[in-house]
Amino acid sequence: MRSRNLKRLWVAAGSLALVLTLAVGAASAAGKKKKGKPKLSPQTIAAITNAKHLMSQGSHGDVEAGIQSLGLLGTKHAVEPLVERIRAGLPPDLLETAIVTLMALGQKSSGPALIELTTHRRETVRLRAVEALAAVNPPGAEGALTAALSDSDPKVRSAAATALGEIRARKSVETLFLALDRGNMEASGAIGKLLRPGEAERLLGYLGKIPFRSLGPALGEMLQRSDVKEGTKLKIVARLEEVGTPEVKGYLGDLVSNAGESLGPKVSKAVLRAMQEIAD
């Protein structure tokens, strides 16, 4: 009887030890998690509180000062109060200031608000939102920028094309080709950045079909890319020499001046030779 009771005590003690071990482990993990989470300093909390107060005032100057003070903080914690103020409504000039501030903060958490603003009724606001998406590149940016290629304003369309190239949105190449077909010149440079190295022939197929000034930026990007084979670059230069117009000659001269060593010695030599062969 006594041995049975002792056995029960040992089992209970073992269970209690296990529970205590698990509890200590959980507390330790929670402590580590809590310790790893950065805390806001009193100064930052005070600065954000003051910025919120300023942005809640009716004075244009106070609201602007509040927006700018959040930008000066340079912390991710400045995004939420700024987005709240944007969604509460701002005059056009202050809305642009707020967007530029989000761009400067560079936090991906500003993505949803910036994406919303790409459909704003004012084209200047849409333009700033597109530029900010290019700088921040949050999740969903590619879809919003691709949609902006169909914007009613040509400046917004152009900015969207440029932005897609900047964020390396390779899935948007086909849409950018459609934009190029519609005369969006900025789509050309973006295509040159995003097109697969072996697809240069597709670009060359546009020679003579669209104005050369619309195609030049794409070819220039391909000629300067390190992942494009030298043979492909030499083929591009040879085809441009075949076109042989004064416009192409001027383009090649600018390319050599601006590209520098990125062309490589053989390609640079081929460009110079092509320029000599093309009549003025």
Tell me which of 280 and 132 has the higher pLDDT.
132
Q: Is the per-residue pLDDT at 5 higher than 60?
A: no
pLDDT of residue 280: 80
Which residue in 183, 144, 139, 181 sits closest to 164, CA to CA?
Answer: 144
DSSP-derived secondary structure for 46-107:
HHHHHHHHHHTSS-HHHHHHHHHHHHHH-SGGGHHHHHHHHHH---HHHHHHHHHHHHHHT-
The answer to whether residue 124 scores a pLDDT higher than 90 is yes
Confidence tier at 238 by pLDDT (50, 70, 90)? very high
State how far the Cα of 222 lies from the Cα of 206, in Å rounded to an integer: 14
Which pTM does this prediction carry?
A: 0.77
Instruction: Give dist(CA 153, CA 51) in Å, integer.
Output: 34
- Residues near 125 by Cβ (< 8 Å), separated by ≥ 6? 92, 95, 96, 99, 117
**pLDDT on residue 38:** 59
The pLDDT > 70 percentage for the chain reads 86
